[in-house]
C-alpha cells in the first residue's frame, strides 16, 4: 500500500496507527524486528530535520535499514525519470519514503510495487498530522471529539493533512487563514466527498472564534513557496499566535510542526511557554511513523 496522504488510510486504519503508536512508545522492545531484513530508501528533495531523523531512527529501531538519498545526487526527472528511479529502488529496497516538491512526483514513484510514504509534499504531510493527533490525544485523555482545535495560518500541506485526520476521526477543527490563502479547492472537494459529515470549518475571521483548546500554527511561507516576505507579512501578521490570542481563546495547548519562524507565526513567549507541546509533537513523529511502518510491513504484509 501507499500513503501519499491520509486519504489513503481508512478512518479505522488511522485510529489503529495512533493506538499502535501509543503501544510502541510504551513497549518499543516488542517491535524490534518489524522491518528485519528490509531496507527503505529515503528520497528527499527538500531540507528536513525531524522527518529525516525520526524516520532513520525509527527504521533502525524496527530492525531495518534506511538509505538516505539526497535528490541533488539522484536528480529525479533530470538524470532519470521518477518512474525509473522507483523501479530501480525496488530491485534492492522494500519501500520509499519521499519528501518532494510536487504531489505528482509521489504518484510517479508508485510505478514500482513497493510502498511509497509521503514525507511531505506541496499538498500533504500525513506523518505530521498523525503525530499531531497523537499529541492532542495525550494532552486530552478524553473523547477527542469534544476538543476544540484551531489551525491558524496558511491552508498548506500541514493544514490539509490535519483536516483529513480531523475529518476521519470526527474531530472539531476550525481552520482560519487570510483571504486567498485557504486550502486548495480540489482538496476541499476530495475531503467533502470522502467525509461528507466532517466537522472541519474553514474561514478567515479570527475575531469570530471565541474559544479553542488547541491552537496550531505553521510557517507562513513553506519550502518552495516563492511569495515575497513583504506580501506574506502583510497578509498573515493578523493571524499570529501570541499571548493575547491564547489568553482570549482560553487555549490550553499550542502546537507547531516546526521549524518555527519565531515572532512571525508564533511569538517566543508562546512557543517557549507552558502551553507549548511542540517537542512532544516532534518526539511523537517517531512513534507514529514506526506504527505506520509496522502496519504496512507486518500487518498488511508488504
Give start and end residues of each alpha helix (H) in the chain: 11-26, 50-61, 71-74, 82-92, 103-109, 126-139, 157-169, 185-194, 229-236, 243-249, 268-271, 278-294
In terms of CB distance, is 38 or 50 closer to ligand CP?
50
| Residue 284 binds: one of ligand NVA, ligand CP, none (C-beta under 5 to 8 A by kind) | none
Of the residues 218, 240, 264, 281, which is catalytic?
218
Neighbours of 181 (CB within 10 A): 18
- 218 given a catalytic annotation: yes
49 interface partner picked from ligand CP, ligand NVA, none, CB below 5 to 8 A per type = ligand CP
99 catalytic residue (yes or no): yes
Q: How far apart are CA 123 and CA 62, in angstroms?
A: 28
**2: CB partners within 8 A, 6+ apart:** 8, 106, 110, 115, 116, 117
Residue of closest CB approach to ligand NVA: 222
Distance CA 220, CA 31 (A): 38
Shortest separation between residue 263's beta carbon and ligand NVA, angstroms:
17
Task: Map residues 86-125 to x or -, x wherever contact with ligand NVA holds by CB under 6 A.
Answer: ----------------------------------x-----
Is-cis flag, bond preceding 259, omega within 30? yes
Active site residue 272: no
Assess whether 198 carries a catalytic annotation. Answer: no
The residue with its CB nearest to ligand CP is: 51
* Closest distance to ligand NVA from the beta carbon of 120 (Å): 6
For binding to ligand NVA (CB under 6 A), which residues are involved?
Answer: 120, 156-158, 218-219, 222-223, 257
Amino acid at each position: 500500500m501507499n500513503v501519499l496522504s491520509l486519504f489513503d488510510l481508512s478512518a479505522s486504519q488511522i485510529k489503529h496507527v495512533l493506538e499502535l503508536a501509543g503501544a510502541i512508545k510504551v513497549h518499543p522492545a516488542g517491535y524490534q524486528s518489524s522491518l528485519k531484513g528490509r531496507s527503505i530508501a529515503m528520497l528527499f528533495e527538500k531540507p528536513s530535520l525531524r522527518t529525516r531523523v525520526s524516520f532513520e531512527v525509527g527504521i533502525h529501531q524496527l530492525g531495518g535499514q534506511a538509505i538516505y538519498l539526497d535528490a541533488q545526487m539522484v536528480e529525479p526527472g533530470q538524470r532519470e525519470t521518477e518512474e525509473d528511479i522507483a523501479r530501480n529502488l525496488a530491485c534492492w529496497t522494500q519501500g520509499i519514503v519521499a519528501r518532494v516538491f510536487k504531489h505528482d512526483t509521489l504518484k510517479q514513484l508508485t510505478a514500482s510495487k513497493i510502498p511509497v510514504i509521503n514525507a511531505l509534499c506541496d499538498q500533504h504531510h500525513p506523518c505530521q498530522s498523525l503525530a499531531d493527533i497523537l499529541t492532542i490525544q495525550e494532552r486530552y485523555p478524553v473523547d477527542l471529539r469534544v476538543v476544540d482545535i484551531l489551525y491558524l495560518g496558511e491552508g498548506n500541506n500541514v493544514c490539509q493533512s490535519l483536516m483529513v485526520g480531523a475529518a476521519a476521526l470526527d474531530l472539531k477543527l476550525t481552520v482560519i487563514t487570510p483571504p486567498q490563502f485557504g486550502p486548495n479547492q480540489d482538496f476541499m472537494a476530495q475531503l467533502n466527498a470522502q467525509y461528507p459529515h466532517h466537522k472541519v470549518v474553514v474561514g478567515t475571521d479570527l475575531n469570530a472564534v471565541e474559544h479553542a483548546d488547541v491552537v496550531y500554527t505553521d510557517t507562513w511561507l513553506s519550502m518552495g513557496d516563492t511569495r515575497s516576505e513583504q506580501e506574506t507579512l502583510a497578509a498573515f501578521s493578523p493571524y499570529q499566535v501570541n499571548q493575547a490570542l491564547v489568553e482570549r481563546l482560553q487555549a490550553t495547548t499550542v502546537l507547531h510542526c516546526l521549524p518555527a519562524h519565531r515572532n512571525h507565526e508564533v511569538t517566543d513567549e508562546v512557543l517557549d511557554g507552558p502551553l507549548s507541546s511542540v517537542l512532544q509533537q516532534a518526539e511523537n513523529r517517531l512513534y507514529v511513523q514506526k506504527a505506520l511502518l509496522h502496519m504496512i510491513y507486518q500487518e498488511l504484509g508488504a
